Structure 1
Amino acid sequence: MDFHPSRHTLLPILVGSANDEFTLWEIGMHERLVSKPFKIWDLQACSTQFQSVVAKDSSMAVNRVAWSPDGHLIGVAFTKHLIHLNAYQHPNETRQVVEIEAHSGGVNDIAFSLPNKQLCAVTCGDDKLIRVWDMHGQKIYSFEGHEAPVYSVCHHDIGPIQFIFSTSVDGKIKAWLYDDLGSRVDYDAPGNWCTAMLYSADGTRLFSCGTSKQGETHLVKWNQSEGSIERSYSGFRKNPSGVVQGVVQFDTAQNQILAAGEDNQIKFWDVDNINMLTCIEADGGLPSLPRLRFNKEGNLLAVTTIDSGFKVLANADGLRSLLAFRSISCSYNARNSRPSQQGSLHLSGGVSQQ
């Protein structure tokens, strides 16, 4: 899931699903604006390897969705080889821009970046590579060095220095500048398995959250200058079985709050305190490891539910934003939305639980 980065006349959220489609919801009015099932735009332009893969198994799911920084483009990464870039036209139109066979195997993450003020898409995949693409589908960079499938990417810039963090499923963290000189760092992620990295809204703090193969979760703040862990946040359950159930997902809000989904709950921390602030069940119905996403202002939080939907939770400021569009006490069709509690609403739309 990904909230629109800038639009204030609507409250749109982009959602990818396990049933191959991406949807666009207008939170304030509780409407599904766009629903786009997967289809191959140009099979003949794809590799023979990909054509053989889809001939044997045509099923496809969305691994990741992302808005471009200006909110004009939608990036969709799929479980087999491809990414799609779509242009978004307010309020409910999308247009195909480019289909890219980005990786061999699954495309595990997609992010937009602006190296040298040129809009690019950064992807990573099962083929152990990180690649950078222009908006015409041309490959600009291909970074090699990971020894396992790459799980996530995180673009950032500090002044004139622009770089990409990448994490692989063997627990390695690497950093790349936009050149061909290789990785600049090689860290071990806590837990040595799948980890995602995020910067705070002001770009000054770096966090990561990951889960070990034994099912232990590590949410930490990094000391960037030393490449060491500065703070580890407590409050995660110790897995008694030692069997991994999945990877805990997290996000950070502008008001210096961290949130992570575990134990059918959402857990919250202040970034300056290792002890958990609180945890909530959000009226129930959350999966064991819910996915979640804050909006840019940090006053709305979307979280997935076990019935292939998602809930949107709001603090006082977020609730005022929602009420500015329409009262949340209305009744809705079961397929589109239904009221949950004051401060939240529940939408159904085939959200991926991967």
Structure 2
Amino acid sequence: MVHIYSYYGGDDIRNHLELEAHVGSVNDLAFSYPNKWLCVVTCGEDKSIKVWNVVTGAKQYCFEGHEAPVYSMCPHHKESIQYIFSIATDGKIKAWLYDNMGSRVDYDAPGHSSTVMSYNADGDRLFSCGTNKEGESYLVEWVETEGAIKRTYHGLGKSSTGVVQFDIIKNRFLAAGDEFMVKFWDMNNDSLLTSTNADGGLLASPCIRFNKEGVLLAVSTSDNSIKILANSFGIELLRTTKKHILLESLLGVF
């Protein structure tokens, strides 16, 4: 089931749509704008990728061809060409245009791993991170036009208990949650740059996510909470936000 909500400001969040998207679990979703229409793209246990109109809930496309459940997908566009990468749990990567002509590419993720793909902020460099059934993890940059690996980043563990998650800091750094830590790389250097355990308490393969500016990092913990890590700019942002909240509270009193 996919729930889509409308946000009207403040605390006003309303349930807009409920979609019976897939048979079995929904494994990933993302928004896209094919033909300038806002859509949500989903993938799931039933080995399919589906595109839904966000306003009406109507199904626009259904892409089939994977032989295993679809683990993740990555909608993107280059100039006027809109497409979706999809990655199955057997490590097969396919790419689809918004038509019914089938997959345009078919190649393998490193180590046949369950993988997530993502572009940098400028949309001109493609990266992926994944973990296979043997616990081996891979963080790589792709030559997307050739389906070939351009660079493999070193420093991930060899016996991950879960799928390693990663994120991109604009156009400069990569980060991944691995071995109870967050690890960082310079995009242009395959050696590990640095790492942090965030004062402990992280999951073995924590989920991580940067804010849009790349100055705050949310990391999941073993006690089902979230830690927020910040650089100097992030600390200043938190201070400013705290001041605004305090001011709004005081104004509310009067």
- How far is 1:238 from its partner? 2.2
Give the equivalent residue in structure 2 for 1:272.
188
1:240-251 maps to which residues of 2 (within 5 A)? 245-251=161-167
Q: 2:223 aligns with which of 304, 307, 311?
A: 307
CA distance in 2, matches of 1:204, 1:123: 23
Distance 2:94 2:62 in 1: 14
Whichever residue aligns with residue 318 of structure 1, its letter is: G
Alignment of 1:311-330 (within 5 A): 311-326=227-242
Give, as a single letter, the amino acid of the residue that structure 2 aligns with 1:119: L
How many residues align structurally? Answer: 243
Distance 1:317 1:91 in 2: 26
Query: Could you tell me which of 85, 88, 97 is aligned with 1:165?
Result: 85
2:142 maps to 1:226: no
Are 1:124 and 2:40 an aligned pair?
A: no
Q: Which runs of 5 or more residues in structure 2 are unaligned?
A: 244-254
Of 176, 194, 218, the match for 2:96: 176
Code of the aligned partner of 1:203: G
Aligned equivalent of 2:127: 207
TM-score (norm 2): 0.93
Q: Note closer, same or farther for the CA distance 1:233–1:298 as it changes in structure 2 (3 Å cut).
A: same
Which residue matches 1:283? 199
Question: Are 1:104 and 2:20 matched, yes or no?
Answer: no
**Rounded Cα–Cα distance in structure 1 between residues aligned with 2:182 and 2:115:** 18
Q: 2:6 aligns with which of 69, 87, 102?
A: 87
- Matches of 1:195 and 1:224 in 2, distance apart? 15
8 Å Cα contact 1:129/1:144 also seen in 2: yes
- Equivalent-residue separation in structure 2 for 1:238 and 1:226 (angstroms): 27
Q: Once the 2 structures are TM-superposed, how far is the Cα of residue 325 of structure 1 from its aligned partner?
A: 1.9
- Secondary structure of 2:68's partner? coil
Counterparts of 1:124 and 1:222, CA distance in 2? 22
What is the distance in 1 between the residues matched to 2:14 and 2:70?
29
Give per-residue Cα distances to partners, 1:63-91, cap 9 Å, x unaligned: xxxxxxxxxxxxxxxxxxx1000011222
Residue equivalent to 1:147: 67
Deviation at 1:255, TM superposition (A): 4.5
Note if contact 1:191-1:213 (Cα within 8 Å) is conserved in structure 2. Answer: no
Once residues 143 and 325 of structure 1 are traced to their aligned partners in structure 2, the CA distance between those partners, rounded to angstroms, is 43
| 8 A contact 1:207–1:220 mirrored in 2 | yes
Amino acid at match of 1:141: Y
Which secondary structure does the structure 2 equivalent of 1:174 belong to? strand
- In angstroms, what is the RMSD of aligned CA positions? 1.2
Q: Give distance in 2, aligned partners of 1:196 and 1:254.
A: 17
CA–CA separation in structure 2 for the residues paired with 1:198 and 1:312? 22
Question: How far apart are the structure 2 equivalents of 1:255 and 1:220?
Answer: 15
* Distance in 1 of aligned mates of 2:242 and 2:15: 32
Amino acid at match of 2:240: A
Query: In the alignment, what sits opposite 2:52?
Result: 133
- Counterpart Cα distance in 2 of 1:238 and 1:100: 38
Tell me the CA shift for residue 299 of structure 1.
0.7
C-alpha distance in structure 2 between counterparts of 1:290 and 1:115, whole Å: 32
TM-score, with normalisation over the residues of structure 1? Answer: 0.67
> What is the DSSP-based 3-state SS (H/G/I as helix, E as strand, rest coil) of the residue aligned with 1:116?
helix
Instruction: Report the Cα offset of residue 259 of structure 1.
Output: 0.4
2: distance between equivalents of 1:311 and 1:89? 28
AA partner of residue 87 (structure 1): S
- Residues 255, 298 of structure 1: 8 Å contact kept: no
Which stretches of structure 1, 4 residues or longer, exceed 2 Å deviation after superposition?
none
Q: How far did 1:290 drift?
A: 0.4
1:70-119 per-residue CA deviation (whole Å, 9 max, x = no partner) reads xxxxxxxxxxxx10000112222211111000000000001000001000
